[in-house]
Chains A and B, each alone.
Chain A
Amino acid sequence: MISKDQVAHVAKLARLSFSDAELEQFTHQLDQIIAMENELAEVPTDGVTPTTQVSDERNVFRADVPVTDGPTRDQLLQNVPESKDGLIKVPTIIDKGEADA
């Protein structure tokens, strides 16, 4: 059984927040899903190499030169929620509790 505390910990790692009711529901659903995942333990996999990709291509390199045909700074800033003077604007990083710190 996965506990509500465990789910809250995973939520923190994933940068997600849930209300208490949501946390309750997610714990229940994740518990069911993880019970399904536990079926994997039945499969003998000693000595089996894990597969994490199915591409034939390996170690693709390119010359260490800047890409110059990409989007411009102005284009890239088009989708930024808040920007100022060509920079991305974010709230204060450490909230010291001061107004508009």
Chain B
Amino acid sequence: MSNSDYLSYDLQTLHQLLVDKKVTAVALTEAALAKINAQQPALNAFITINQKKALARAAELDAKGIDPDDLLAGIPIAYKDNIVTNGIRTTAASHILDNFNPVYDATVVEKLDAAGTINLGKTNMDEFAMGSSTETSHFGVTHNPWDLERVPGGSSGGSAAAVAAGEVFAALGSDTGGSIRQPAAYNGIFGIKPTYGRVSRWGLIAFGSSFDQIGVFTRRAQDAAVLLGAISGHDPKDSTSSEQAVPDFTAAIGQGIKGLKIAVPDEFFGEGIAEDVKAQVEKGLQQLADQGAIIDHVQLPHTKYAVPAYYVLASSEASSNLQRFDGIRYGFRAADVKNLEDVYVRSRSEGFGPEVKRRIMLGTFALSSGYYDAYFNKAAAVRTLIKQDFEKILATHDLIIGPTAPDTAFKIGVNDDDPITLYMKDILTISANMAGVPAASVPAGFNAEGLPVGMQMIAKRFDESTIFRAAAAFEELNHYNLETPTFKNGGNA
């Protein structure tokens, strides 16, 4: 195997090679950088490549030696570009932040640095994480490594593509309405949004604060369990982070699927869900049943209201969170402004892209005098009903399973002028954010065109362990997760 294949190994194997000095952290980092640089023209998965600092850090780790107890030491990873990194430009894929150089690290970055991971760079995303395709990025779209004419999903499209294409071992993303799970599905890898409160949001550029969670992309569920363990836990700097103890998320892996009670919502297989996606997920469910899972068909009756409720609530929170971008203390300031009001209006109008403006406008409208009750309060009440639907089903079941996305990766540009069609792509993922429950996407095979299909697993709050258990067992049945991207419609790989 060539050096570049190291990044497709499982964590334990890679770690052992590092401990035994059969491969150095520098060699691993060089392999990752070579792949990133070679594939960047075709994929555009990165906004900023952290070449120098990554190599210096790797050399430091090699000099010290990799301790057998430090499972993550020397492992090359990447961060979505809305997670702030001290001294490394962080843009949220927006023109308004394209010169922003943070002076502190997000808590997740601090934790992973302490665990010895190597930061290879900052990945592309939809501007301020608003989008489902990475097409709203100020830095150009990321291409799906399975078919370069297609989107990687979003908003964490760069992180998902980078992991799928073997550029880094793992990547962090953020998920407000499906922004980890949908790109994981479109790229054929594992991606988990943990329970709201599991991971500190300190240093995550806020979009919808009551929905946002940081999570992990990897090729294997087991490896994501290790990474999630490393970033979880209470943080005094984020008062919504939970005091709940962080278990060993890998502990239940290997217990198999037998006896797990799985709820399959009718609404997740209804109108608007592509037939080939349904067929693949149903095939997977049959396999789980064959392994001894108990499958029940259930209803989540408010599913169809999840999209409208979410877009009011998340946009309202965004309109408030994004008030801070005003051209005064950081980021882009418009030139030739006459007065202070002009600084605000012109910096924001020139700095934000169209999708961000649409959401700020929708949120401002929903919060404005005369509309607050009809829109914001109404949506918040519907959120309660959606949450109750989930609590009811999860009180008697271990997991809710269905497709992650209603379709597979779509062609770049096809939904450009149609925000509503794009918003509907989130219909299966939004509810987990509304309810604050953990949810993951697990590779579930391919459609006839060779595009990956994702199976979504949703668990009770703080029960990520059951997701890891079921996902790891499901991976063993087919090994879809080990298939590597085909770079269709491109030259090299």
Contacts and interface: CB of A to CB of B under 8 A. Distances in A.
Interface stretch (B249-257, B304-312, B396-404, B465-473): B304-312
Contacts of A54: 196-197, 210, 387, 434-436
A1 interface: no
B194 interface: no
B338 A48 contact: no
Given A57-B197, A57-B239, A48 B330 contact: no
B411 interface: no
Contacts of A95: 338-339
Interface string A2-35: 1000110011011111100000001001101110
Nearest to A12: B345
18 contacts: A13-B368, A15-B344, A15-B348, A16-B348, A16-B349, A16-B357, A33-B420, A39-B304, A40-B305, A40-B309, A43-B302, A43-B381, A45-B381, A49-B384, A50-B384, A51-B434, A57-B197, A79-B101
Contacts of A62: 236
A90 B196 contact: no
Interface of A: 2, 6-7, 10-11, 13-18, 26, 29-30, 32-34, 36-37, 39-43, 45, 48-57, 60, 62, 71, 75-76, 78-82, 88, 90-95
A29 B377 CA distance: 22
Interface string B373-414: 011011111111101000000000000000000000000000
A65 B242 CA distance: 23
* Interface residue tally on B, bucketed by range: 35 or more
A71 B59 CA distance: 28
Given A34-B365, A43-B302, A55-B240, A17 B345 contact: yes
Given A16-B348, A37-B312, A40-B309, A50 B381 contact: yes
A36 B348 contact: no
Nearest to B342: A91
Given A50-B384, A88-B328, A91-B340, A26 B377 contact: no
A14 to B, nearest CB: 4
B423 to A, nearest CB: 8
By DSSP majority rule, is chain B's interface helix, strand, loop, or mixed?
A: helix
B305 A91 contact: no
Contacts of B387: 51, 54
Contacts of A30: 358, 361-362, 365
A78 B420 contact: no
B314 to A, nearest CB: 12
Contact of A91 (B338, B357, B384, B420): B338
B1 interface: no
Nearest to A14: B364
Contacts of A37: 308, 311-312, 366, 375, 379
A51 B389 CA distance: 14
Contact of B330 (A39, A50, A79): A79
Contact of B196 (A10, A43, A55, A78): A55
Contacts of B239: 57, 60
B103 A76 contact: yes
B197 A18 contact: no
A36 B383 contact: no
A39 B242 CA distance: 34
A15 B345 contact: yes
Given A52-B380, A91-B343, A10 B311 contact: no
A88 B329 contact: yes
Contacts of A26: 357-358, 361
Contacts of A51: 380-381, 383-384, 387, 434
Contacts of A40: 305, 308-309, 312, 375, 378-379, 382
B250 to A, nearest CB: 25
A92 B308 CA distance: 42
Contacts of A80: 328-330
